[in-house]
Amino acid sequence: MGQVTARRTLRPLALALYFSALAAPAQSQTRTPPEKKVPVSVIYEAIAATNAPLWLAADLALYDKYGLDAKVVNARGSAPVQALVGGAVEFGAFSGSSAVAANLAGADLVFVAAKPNFSVISVWTRKDSTLKTLAELRGKTIGVSRPGSATHAAARLALKSAGIGDKDVKFLHHGGLPEIFASLEQGLVDAAFSSPPRPGFREMVDLTTLKIPFLQGAIEVQRGFLASRRPVVVSFLKAYVESLKYAREKPELAVAAVAKRMRMAPEAVRAAYAPHGRVWEELPYVRSDSVQAILDLYPGEKNPERFIDNGPLKDLEESGFMRELYRK
């Protein structure tokens, strides 16, 4: 009797388990799938501390937080501009002067955020150099990267502020920052223009102390992309602006992000934080005068506003995003 009773008891239980097992796949299929992230790529041109907010946003998974599956890509020379103009990437994060040159050649790129509005470039010499001021660079050979790059444009602006024209110096162009400093070390150039840090060399002038308006770098998109996929641009800027907040308020995070990419000890990077911290803004609207400083290097072009669209950042401000981010 005990065995019969046991069978009668187990049979309903077995049937219940059987039918629940059959139902499980159906239930799992009707479950709401995780939200799919929008794939985007952002390309930048220099391994330099100015890109700390881009890197930090990746390290803190901020792109993911705002619904983006973002790839942060480095390429040298003119490749970043070509990639953005050709539509191979959605976002650019390169020099304002490169984007202006591309537009004057027929592209239709637009600045949607600054990184930053002031030059964060320094003048570097060898440690044994006797050069001390910008005025002493007259007649010297200056190391910069490719023509029209941020280092080239910043050098021209800085020298202009000291009364030195393009014909008063010789610019030696290079493919990237490592090559510039190889030339400086070998004595092929007398001074080099680059953002800090640059261990082993002497910082002659920190241009951030001069507060020269200059869109050294920016977040750029194609105007058509902004028109058709504005929410994606706004999401990207949410990640970028939140990253700026962390970079400004928690220097150790920005230092770690830079040290990781530049393959330097954090101690070597910390000195470079101060000049960048001076120019990072809560809401990085692109300033007309920072773009005009670039246009002044091109005869005939005098309308900076046609290169700028601060609308997506204004969306963030008016939506309350900034107020919530900073708990104002």
pLDDT confidence of residue 142: 98
And the tokens for 66? 């705002």
Measuring CA to CA, how many Å separate 229 from each of 166, 198, 222, 286, 306?
A: 41, 39, 10, 20, 20
Query: Residue 119: exposed, middle, or buried by beta-carbon count in 10 A (0-12, 13-18, 19+)?
Result: buried
Full DSSP string of 95-146: -HHHHHHHHHTT--EEEEEES-SB---EEEE-TT----SGGGGTT-EEEESS
Phi then psi dihedrals of residue 144, to 5 deg: -140, 170
Cα separation, 213 vs 289, in Å, equals 6
Span 206-224, mean pLDDT?
91
* Residue 140 burial (CB count, 10 A): 16
Q: Which tens digits make up the pLDDT trace of 262-296?
A: 999 998 888 888 888 888 999 999 999 999 999 98
Q: Is the pLDDT of residue 59 over 90?
A: yes
Say whether pLDDT at 201 is over 90.
Answer: yes
Determine the residue type at 220.
E
Q: Do domains 38-118+214-326 and 122-210 have the same CATH topology?
A: yes
Residue 14 is predicted with a pLDDT of 43
In this model, does residue 74 exceed pLDDT 80? yes
Going by pLDDT thresholds of 50, 70 and 90, the confidence category of residue 318 is very high
Residue 301 is predicted with a pLDDT of: 75
Mean pLDDT of the chain: 89
**% of the chain exceeding 70 in pLDDT:** 89
- Chain segment 101-142, per-residue pLDDT in tens: 999 999 999 999 999 999 888 999 999 999 999 999 999 999
Are 227 and 59 spatial neighbours (Cβ–Cβ below 8 Å)?
A: no
Cβ–Cβ < 8 Å for 158, 134: yes
CA–CA separation, 132 vs 213, rounded Å?
23
- Closest alpha carbon to 166 in 175, 153, 156, 157: 156
Compute CA distances 231 → 33, 34, 45, 68, 236, whole Å: 21, 19, 25, 11, 9
Buried-state track 238-259, b at ≥16 Cβ within 10 A, e below 16: bbbbbbbbbbeeebebbbbbbb
Beta-strand relationship, 122-125 and 191-194: antiparallel
pTM of the model: 0.80
Unique residue bearing structure tokens 């007649």: 139
Would you state the torsion angle of the CA atoms of residues 59, 61, 64, 70, taken in this order, to the nearest 10 degrees? Answer: 0
Query: Class for domain 122-210, per CATH?
Result: alpha beta
Domain-wise residue ranges, the chain: 38-118+214-326, 122-210
pLDDT in tens, 232-270: 999 999 999 999 999 999 999 999 999 999 999 998 888
What's the pLDDT tens digit per position in 132-190? Answer: 999 999 999 999 998 888 899 889 989 998 999 999 999 999 988 899 999 999 999 99
- pLDDT at 21 > cutoff 70: no
Residue linked to tokens 């990207």: 236
Task: Give the model's confidence band at 29: pLDDT under 50 very low, under 70 low, under 90 confident, else very high.
Answer: very low
Mark out the alpha helices in 60-108 (DSSP H runs).
Answer: 62-65, 79-85, 96-104
Is residue 227 within a helix (H) or strand (E), and if so which, with residue range? Answer: helix 223-228
Domain 38-118+214-326: which CATH class?
A: alpha beta
How does 282-300 read in b/e, with b if 16+ C-beta sit within 10 Å? ebbbbbbebbbbbbebeee
